[in-house]
Amino acid sequence: LPMGWIDSSNFEVQLAKIPSGMENQKISFHEYFHAVQHAHIQTKDHQKRDRTNGPVWFVEGGAEYMAWVGLLDAYESGVLEKVNMEGKRSFSPFSFMESSIKRGISDKKSKCPGVSFEKFDSQRPCRQAAYDLGAWAHAYLANKFGADVLLEIFYPNLDKLGWEGSFSQTYGMSSEQFYQEFDEFLDWP
């Protein structure tokens, strides 16, 4: 840690900012999934890759969601051991997801009022909501259409059909229909 980083009067707040071992493992899975996403796009043109990859909520939310899926599968199968880093806060995937939907909804209302979910991007003050709500959007889609469709249908068709075409083929609805449905879901108690 940098000198002076820990202020004894603010130690608990500073400690909460240190990622736990499990969170660091999740970040590794998140970044790996970005490689999986890009592996399905055959152009070297950076702008075309970004357009083909889809909206920020889909890209970052997909990486968040698939990081959890991969991490929890790795723990369950015994391939990966949970890391308990002494002195760091505990980290629960289910608590994290619960917090993320609450934070995402709050950020959507307070930081981006009037901005629709599909328009969240990396430049807006609600960038974190794209990650938080995007992970929930992917969980919602996986629950409704199956856990394997993202990797077995969406990504294999992405380069050929583009984002909207692959989305429609995979989920049987347009992104507009999905946005309406997902907004209704976010209003559930």
User: pLDDT by residue (tens digit) across 129-149?
Assistant: 999 999 999 999 999 999 999
What would the mean pLDDT of 75-94 be, rounded to a whole number?
74
Asked whether the predicted pLDDT for residue 1 surpasses 50, the reply is no
Residue 93: which residues within 8 A CB-CB, separation 6 or more? Answer: 22, 26, 68, 71, 72
Per-residue pLDDT, 159: 95
Per-residue pLDDT, 89: 59
Place of tokens 């997902």: 182
Per-residue pLDDT, 9: 46
Q: How far are the Cα atoms of 26, 134, 159 from residue 139, in angstroms, in the given order?
A: 16, 9, 23
3-state secondary structure of 188: coil
Per-residue pLDDT, 115: 86
Residue 161: which residues within 8 A CB-CB, separation 6 or more? Answer: 169
Strand residues in the chain grouped as ranges (E): none
- Quickly state the pLDDT bin for 186 (edges 50, 70, 90): very high
* Nearest C-alpha neighbor of 41 from the set 162, 150, 138: 162
- Quickly state the pLDDT bin for 88 (edges 50, 70, 90): low
pLDDT digits (tens, 9 = 90+) for 46-62: 999 989 999 999 999 99
pLDDT digits (tens, 9 = 90+) for 3-48: 333 344 443 444 445 456 777 888 999 999 999 999 999 999 999 9
3-state secondary structure of 130: helix
Per-residue pLDDT, 4: 38
Averaged pLDDT score across all residues of the chain: 85
